[in-house]
Amino acid sequence: MGGTSTWVLEGTNDDRQDFKVVGTWNHPGRQSWDMVSGAAKYPTDLYKEGTLVAMALRCPYGHAKVKSLDISEAEKLPGVKLILTYEDEELASMPINVPSYYELGRSPLLGDEGEFEGDECGAVVVGVSEEVCRKALDLIKVKWEVLPFVLDCREAGKPGAPILRPEMNPDSNMTGNTFGAPVKWEIGNVEKGFKEADYIEVIEYGRPMWNQFRPMPPAYFSYWDNDPWGNPDGEKMCYVTNHAHFPSNGPIISASMGMGVHEDKVRALTPYMAARYCDFVEKRGAQLAPVLSRRLGGVPVRCVSTRRQAFDANVPQTFFTVRIGFKKDGTLVAVQSKNVHQTGARGGYGDKTHGHLVLPANAQGFKSTSCPNIYSEMEYYVTNGACTTADPGKDAWEPVNLAFAKIADTLKMDISEVIMKNVKITKPSLESCMEAGKKAFHWDSKWHLPGTKRLEDGRFHGVACRSCWSMTWGMISYNINLRMNTDGKIYMPYSEALIGTYWPDAVQLVIAEEMGMKLEDVIVYYAANYPNWQKGDAADRGSTCTWAAKEAAVQLKKQILETGASLFGVTADEVDLVDSMITLKADPSKQMSLVGIGQLAVGYCGKPKVPFQNDVIRTMNVDFCEVAVDPETGMVEILDYCSAHDFGKLIRPSSGLGQLEMALTMASGRALREEIIWDPNTGVLLNGNMYDYKVPTSLDQPTIETVPVETRCGGGAYGSTGVAHAHCDAGLVGLAIQNAIGKFIPMAPYTPDKILGAMGTIS
């Protein structure tokens, strides 16, 4: 067993024990009715009189450069309003700045080089309809210079590989497809550790590029119109749709920076943007749509991407080879990890050719084990294929859990024991999750040594479990403004585009709880451009913004009580807020409504003192999986998922548990079938549609049992913490398959060909 967390709850009332609304069910979200009825307007739903459509020319090759363009015939087509090429001066000068975190980095907004098949380059057409745009694009005569391409980051790192972005490190003697030296670090003395080990094994883990599959294909919609309160500075307002959750109002930032206007002249049109799963890549349409609209006098312009074109940003490849040394009792004593990572066509996530790597998979996860000797080396290479997004899972823990499984397999141990033996901090969180999860999953009756159990139908049976952090993103401060209006209601504006986590509704519960208000008297409402800095809706930051909301609520309550006390003629200590009424403590029958007592407001900006990312091991979770493997077909069926997640404090159960269901459903798709496939000979995407890239349907969704654990050890309000990021990983299914067939499969997804290959049925 590992150590004990010494975390002390911080902030006002984080140790609260009495809850009226926090943790309770049946609180429909502010937007729920609109989402169900269809009244909610998403960017694809916006259509105004005179709306024009914009579509870009797409590179048809794995890598190619425009040698010449002839747009003369396309311009003659009726319905075509504008065609801009890469030679357009304004486009060539954009982006003026480099908005970090966005795809619109140092690559030109519309260049002459297609860095992957489907990349927007060369020209953009604006017409009255998609049909007109498609015809116009067909009429553009293009001469392409086809360039060499690389699709696999391991190949991109080899000597002699084609140099895809020679400008990235022109003076370096490093392999040309990287933009920096390998990231290396060491803790302890790894060679010494291996000498002390009783066993040394090697594990392999790889994942292909896969697609988060955002439900709504990008459809940036923009127009310029008068400022609603006039044009005080003589400039019109740019209205844009929102497609990025992190930071939110991404198009506002992208558009304003790209066009060199201030952010106050750009306004978001709708809070709805459909889901993003830590995919904060912004598309070029974010800047193209406002520019094209401005060129055409401000008319509405919609930049259209088809579903296939939406496969231009994917979760990157990563490959691990890890040598582990461990003792006879299963204690890990040495880790030597090498990781080759893909940075996508632009370099880094999105378009950051300056090499900004976010959440790279390397040996970071091993830092949360008690292993004293760790060496990590990570290389990263640009490839063709697509831009890259962040991973909605927690891939740093994939090799860790694989190492635990390898130890368990070698020593014929129960993997749950190996986890508890090697994770550095196990109390109270991991221990609670493991205990609750094993009980709910019936682990003790299901677990067996690898390859030793068949079901009655002849299929192999396997189970596995894995551990991970429950993430809290403590790097972000939230700006919460609360106002008591003359109607006696409490109002909180927010501006973030919504991706499905119901964070404003969780915040509503916290505010009501802290203030003693009825839930219906706390109004959270969308206010375009309101800066909840750091902006953004994300599963794991929701807990952080509840913390800021709690602090703000406490401050506003104090003001209200001081006002109410003066009206009662008593001191503030003698009154309380009960069910939205100022109540005399000595005589609760004496109450005063908040209606009409005035207007009060507070603002609070801050965050809990929670460490970021790699050290967050106070709140943990354990997932369990049971599979059946057909030895004849290689088909894998996930029979049961069980997730014991330490929420710290579960604030809004419906959405909190919904995040687990979401992440594990996505994980099942990743594990069994999701993979981006290109033609190795042409670099052309082969499965960019919903039939060949199959995400889980209602029939594919496994049984998912959620087991909430509450240790109050997180960084959000009342010790709450994040959810979804911790669970969207493929590896657990692979471990269960190993328990079934006795073989490790080094590469996800775990498709029948790999299963049969591992079993020796096929070569």
Partner 1 sequence: MNGKVSRRDFLKAGGAGLAGVALSTLGIGTILGSETTAGDAQAAPGQELMYVCPVCGEKAEDFDGLRKHFKEKHPELESPKNMVLRINGADVGVYVEDHWTLRETLLRAVGLTGNAKEMCDRGGCGSCTVLIDGKPALACTTLAVECRGREIETSEGIAADPAYRPLVEAYVKYDASQCGYCTPGQFTVAKYILNKYPDPTEDQIRTELSGNICRCGTYSRHVQAIQEAAAAMKGGKS
Q: Which is nearer to partner 1, 9 or 40 (CB)?
A: 40
Residues that contact partner 1, how many (by CB under 8 A):
68
Instruction: Give the shortest CB-528-to-partner 1 separation in angstroms.
Output: 10
Block residue for tokens 């619109």: 104
Residue closer to partner 1 by CB (options 78, 230) is 78
Nearer to partner 1 by Cβ, of 163 and 275: the residue is 275
Instruction: Establish how many alpha carbons lie within 13 A of residue 342's alpha carbon, considering only the half-sphere containing its beta carbon.
Output: 30
For the bound state, the minimum distance from the C-beta of residue 644 to partner 1, rounded and expressed in Å, comes to 18
Query: For residues 721 and 24, what is the distance between their CA atoms, to the nearest angstrom?
Result: 17
Strands 113-114 and 332-342 turn out to be unpaired
Examine residue 185 and tell whether it contacts partner 1 (CB under 8 A): no
In this chain, which stretch among 111-119, 299-307, 557-565, 615-623 interacts with partner 1, using CB under 8 A?
A: 299-307
Closer of 644 and 704 to partner 1 (Cβ): 704
**Does residue 498 belong to the site contacting partner 1 (CB under 8 A)?**
yes
CA–CA gap between residue 434 and residue 624 (Å, rounded): 10
Residue 696 interacts with partner 1 (CB under 8 A): yes or no: yes
Binding range to partner 1, per CB under 8 A, among 96-104, 335-343, 696-704, 736-744: 696-704
Is 50 a binding residue for partner 1 by CB under 8 A? The answer is yes
Could you tell me if 122 and 47 are in contact, meaning their C-beta atoms sit under 8 angstroms apart? no
Is 640 one of the binding residues for partner 1 (CB under 8 A)? no
Given the complex with partner 1, which of 277 and 469 has the nearer CB atom? 277
| Closer to partner 1 by Cβ: residue 212 or 336 | 212
**Only segment of 55-63, 424-432, 658-666, 738-746 that touches partner 1 (CB under 8 A):** 658-666
Among 704, 709, 736, 740, the residue binding partner 1 under the rule CB under 8 A is 704
Assess 639 for contact with partner 1 (CB under 8 A).
no
CB-wise, 443 or 502, nearer to partner 1?
502
Asked whether position 54 contacts partner 1 by CB under 8 A, the answer is no
What would the DSSP string read from start to end of 29-54?
-TTHHHHHHT-SPPGGG---TT-EEE
Which token pair is 742? 């006795």
> Exposure pattern of 162-173 as b/e (b: 16+ CB <10 Å)?
ebbbeebbeeee
Kindly state the helix (H) or strand (E) to which residue 672 belongs, with its residue range: helix 653-672
- Give the DSSP H/E element, type plus range, for residue 37: helix 32-37
Site membership for partner 1, residue 595 (CB under 8 A) = no
The backbone torsions φ and ψ at residue 623, rounded to the nearest 5 degrees and listed phi first, read -105, 145
511 is an interface residue for partner 1 by CB under 8 A:
no
Of 272 and 443, nearer to partner 1 (C-beta) is 272
Residue 531, amino acid:
P
**H/E element holding 564?**
helix 542-568
Question: What backbone torsions phi and psi does residue 674 show, to the nearest 5 degrees?
Answer: -80, 125
Which is closer to partner 1, CB of 243 or CB of 535? Answer: 243
Helix, strand, coil shares of the chain, percent, nearest 5, are 30, 25, 50
- Told to check if 687 binds partner 1 by CB under 8 A, we report no
Task: State yes or no: residue 175 binds partner 1 (CB under 8 A).
Answer: no
Q: Which residues, numbered 245-284, are part of the site for partner 1 (CB under 8 A)?
A: 270, 272-275, 277
Task: Determine the interface stretch with partner 1 among 41-49, 64-72, 575-583, 598-606 (rule: CB under 8 A).
Answer: 41-49
- d(CA 758, CA 16) in angstroms, rounded, equals 53
71-90 residues near partner 1, rule: CB under 8 A: 78-79
- In the complex with partner 1, the residue whose CB is nearer, 178 or 543, is 543
Site for partner 1 in 329-388 (CB under 8 A): none
Tell me whether the omega of the peptide bond preceding residue 659 falls within 30 degrees of 0, making it cis: no
Q: Pick from 4, 19, 39, 76: which binds partner 1 (CB under 8 A)?
A: 39
Under the binding rule (CB under 8 A), the answer on residue 40 touching partner 1 is yes
Instruction: Determine the interface stretch with partner 1 among 59-67, 246-254, 492-500, 597-605 (rule: CB under 8 A).
Output: 492-500
Query: Which burial class, exposed, middle or buried, applies to 33 when counting CB atoms under 10 A from its CB (0-12, 13-18, 19+)?
Result: exposed
Q: Which of 497, 488, 493, 509 is nearest to 603 (CA)?
A: 493
Residue 440 DSSP symbol = H
By CB under 8 A, residue 542 contacts partner 1: no
Q: How many CB atoms lie within 10 A of CB 637?
A: 13
- Under rule CB under 8 A, residue 568 binds partner 1: no
Minimum distance from residue 381 beta carbon to partner 1 (Å) = 29
| Residue whose entry in the numeric block shows the structure tokens 């069994």 | 672
**Residue with Cβ nearer partner 1 (520 or 562):** 520
Question: Can residue 661 be called a binding residue for partner 1 (CB under 8 A)?
Answer: yes
CA 248 to chain centre: 13
**Using CB under 8 A as the criterion, what x/- string covers residues 100-129 for binding partner 1?**
----------------------------xx
Which element (helix H / strand E) includes 469? strand 460-469
199-218 binders of partner 1 (CB under 8 A): 212-217
Show the tokens assigned to 719: 């010790």
For 529, residues 6+ apart whose C-beta sits below 8 A from its C-beta are 249, 252, 263, 264, 266, 267, 268, 495
In angstroms, what is the minimal distance from the CB of 620 to partner 1? 22
Stretch (H or E) spanning 659: helix 653-672
Quote the least distance from Cβ 695 to partner 1, whole Å: 6
Q: How far apart are CA 407 and CA 368, in angstroms?
A: 17
Task: Choose among 319, 356, 366, 321: nearest CA to 185.
Answer: 366
Residue 552 sits at φ, ψ, to 5 deg, of -65, -40
Which of 31-39, 91-99, 142-150, 175-183 is the region at the interface with partner 1 (rule: CB under 8 A)? 31-39
Contact status: 529 vs partner 1 (CB under 8 A): no
Helix ranges, 365-515 (H): 398-411, 415-422, 429-441, 443-446, 503-515
Spatial strand order of the sheet with 113-114 comes to 113-114, 64-70, 141-146
> Is-contact 316 207, C-beta < 8 A?
no
Q: Residue 206 is inside which H or E element, if any?
A: strand 199-207
- The reply on whether position 588 binds partner 1 by CB under 8 A is no
Kindly report the number of other CB atoms within 10 A of residue 254's CB atom: 29
Least separation, in Å, of the C-beta of 17 and partner 1?
25
> Which lies closer to partner 1 via its Cβ, residue 46 or residue 419?
46
To partner 1, the closest distance from the beta carbon of 652 in angstroms equals 9
Among 31, 477, 682, 687, binds partner 1 (CB under 8 A): 31
Instruction: State in angstroms the smallest separation of the CB of 721 from partner 1.
Output: 19
What distance in Å separates the CA atoms of residue 648 and residue 89, rounded to the nearest whole number? 54
Residue whose CB is less far from partner 1, 697 or 763: 697
Q: Does 8 bind partner 1 (CB under 8 A)?
A: no
Between residues 333 and 726, which has the closer beta carbon with respect to partner 1? 726
Tell me the H-state helices in 456-517: 503-515
By CB under 8 A, name the one of 298, 399, 474, 500 that touches partner 1: 500
Select the residue interacting with partner 1 from 249, 426, 432, 501 (CB under 8 A): 501
The DSSP bridge partners found for residue 642 are: 624, 705
Tell me if 658 contacts partner 1 by CB under 8 A: yes
Choose the binding region for partner 1 from 198-206, 287-295, 497-505, 618-626 (rule: CB under 8 A).
Answer: 497-505
Whole-angstrom CA distances from 139 to 79, 123, 142, 226 are 13, 12, 9, 36
Tokens read off for 578 = 């009960």
What is the contact surface with partner 1 in residues (CB under 8 A)? 26-29, 31-42, 44-45, 47-50, 78-79, 128-129, 131, 212-217, 270, 272-275, 277, 299, 306-308, 498-502, 520, 654-655, 658, 661-666, 689-691, 695-699, 701, 704
